[in-house]
A and B are shown apart, each in its own frame.
Chain A
């Protein structure tokens, strides 16, 4: 059982990190970013190219992933989302745009990096073995890095100037504008930050699970689930959602295995029941 909990915690940390960027973009711009998973994949491939192919240090590869995606995110906000939000009569239109960008990134990644699963050498080898728990060191490291990054992100949002501006923006766009927050600038920074998080987590996880050009869509959907559990647009919710989903998968796959292929059915059904009782997730905004 300890092993199951350890699995769940590790999975949760990784999920929470994936969900953070998605929820940030949603909070700031009310955009459900369908391309989140594709950004993750792109980040993964950047790290793969730099660490796996060029053999540069992993940290440099991670930074490159983050920077690349931050640029991609900023450009997407400035040239695509801003325009569509301004011109569209319904805010759902951004969803179509996000889906189209997801297709676009899928196509670009497929053309640039091919259709194969890619992996990189382990960042640390070796496995921690005790009587009850077996955990490879690289997973432990990635889990710790994930938690450190989540904490850094929360501190940044809490105390830094851009962080505070973005929170104000998320709370009330118009009021924030009246108070002198440069809405356009911080929307762009926020979008870039969200994309960067996706890119970094993609790069980080290449060392464990590799990357392939087809997983973007499924990753987005997973991230939607976590955000839904925790509540859309709330950072704490995304983290809680990530850990809850990770734990449910880990426990479910062990406990329900005797009943056959129903773990995910049960998880999804529970989710639907939960949401009909709590329509805004654990801590989402009521207007979400």
Chain B
């Protein structure tokens, strides 16, 4: 009887597993590869569900839009072969433990280039896997330890706040007479680290920091209580450190409705529709580091990308202005050095000298930067577009560059 029980138990396990895997296969079977071209798989590990879903979703959608576009127009020629791009995604649910599993999965699939993760803890957790399995990954996380040697496999996919913050504060100090700055951040790793570097940058510029310890829970829906004491300090500039696109309009609205008349800024990319819906005209004048593209600097190719994105997913996300770049950098670098297609060491060598015209921004160049911040080229160069929100759209204040 004992052995029978064991059999039945294992049968049950395999049944349960079998059922789930059947489902998986059925869904997976809908993919069909085009026969003529070779396939180049590019991975994504990041968050596409839960409260932070917006971050990863804009990555995945940018990548899929661009990949479909490339495949539709016959693929991309790297060396002697033409490839179709396949995007392999993994939702880590913002859990670093899952992110590791995702990176292992990418390694298993033979993927060498991965976009993500979206947050600090995930990016730190996947580092051992990426380095041991030979994967280059493009996190949207700012800790310098990821990019400074001996770390060598991570490439920052955007402009870090310790790069954009000083530029914004300097501009506002010189052009708008800002003297007193207040900071507010969510009590989570990423925003808090960004706040700390923002405070340091502001102090260095000789600005008076009147509030630097105020924080809110990420699930806060009503920001009036947390903003009330700060507003009484009458700062000239309120910095929303590391603010999530979902919270920005709520913070802006609460501050304005409390009678705040100074400037508000953020160093993370925001979403125009979300701002317009959530805060309306109260958001006018809000300064943020835009999604690396504005109508003024956009090329026809960027316009087409946006069109295709909207056709595919219904609504554009301004964050994708930045997130379109990682895949482009990977492909262009591979084109420059076809050997890198399965050897990331070749990729790293090419990074030092790589340069190509930027297809998305007028007069721009694709190149790797980061010497000042990290001592090695471990960051993609995207236009640092500082924008001002006005009546539902971002308008360019100034465009900068990271070195």
Q: Which of A134, A214, A217, A221 contacts B53 (CB 8 A)?
A: A214
The residues of B that contact A114 with a CB separation of less than 8 Å are: 314-315
Q: Are B226 and A253 in contact (CB under 8 A)?
A: yes
Bound Cα distance from A208 to B224, whole angstroms:
11
Q: Are A117 and B225 in contact (CB under 8 A)?
A: no
B388 at the interface (CB under 8 A from A): no
**Chain B residue nearest to A48 in the complex (CB):** B277
Bound Cα distance from A8 to B57, whole angstroms:
35
Bound Cα distance from A210 to B273, whole angstroms:
13
Q: Are A116 and B217 in contact (CB under 8 A)?
A: no
Q: Which of B53, B192, B225, B247 contacts A253 (CB 8 A)?
A: B225
Most buried by B among A4, A14, A250, A253: A253
Evaluate whether A261 and B225 lie within 8 angstroms (CB atoms) in the complex, with A116-B271, A210-B250 already known. no
B392 at the interface (CB under 8 A from A): no
Q: Are A119 and B278 in contact (CB under 8 A)?
A: yes
Residues of A that sit less than 8 Å from B by CB: 3-4, 7-8, 10-11, 14, 52, 106, 110, 114-122, 127, 129, 134, 136, 139, 205, 208-210, 212-215, 217-219, 221-222, 249-250, 253-254, 257-261, 264
Q: Which of B221, B224, B273 contacts A215 (CB 8 A)?
A: B221
A154 to nearest B CB, angstroms?
24
**Chain A residue nearest to B219 in the complex (CB):** A218
Q: Are A261 and B187 in contact (CB under 8 A)?
A: yes
Evaluate whether A136 and B257 lie within 8 angstroms (CB atoms) in the complex, with A116-B246, A117-B246 already known. yes
Bound Cα distance from A227 to B29, whole angstroms:
47
Bound Cα distance from A250 to B273, whole angstroms:
30
The residues of B that contact A213 with a CB separation of less than 8 Å are: 53
Q: 23 A-B Cβ contacts within 8 A?
A: A7-B224, A7-B225, A11-B222, A52-B277, A106-B49, A110-B49, A117-B277, A118-B274, A134-B257, A134-B258, A209-B221, A210-B278, A213-B53, A215-B51, A215-B221, A217-B50, A217-B51, A218-B217, A249-B225, A253-B214, A253-B216, A254-B225, A260-B215
B364 at the interface (CB under 8 A from A): no
Q: Are A218 and B51 in contact (CB under 8 A)?
A: yes
The residues of B that contact A7 with a CB separation of less than 8 Å are: 224-225, 228
**Chain A residue nearest to B227 in the complex (CB):** A253
Q: Are B219 and A119 in contact (CB under 8 A)?
A: no
A220 to nearest B CB, angstroms?
10
Q: Are A129 and B280 in contact (CB under 8 A)?
A: no
Q: Which of A3, A214, A215, A218 contacts B228 (CB 8 A)?
A: A3
Bound Cα distance from A44 to B273, whole angstroms:
18
Q: Are A257 and B214 in contact (CB under 8 A)?
A: yes
Q: Are A214 and B52 in contact (CB under 8 A)?
A: yes
**Chain B residue nearest to A122 in the complex (CB):** B280
Bound Cα distance from A222 to B216, whole angstroms:
14
B263 at the interface (CB under 8 A from A): no
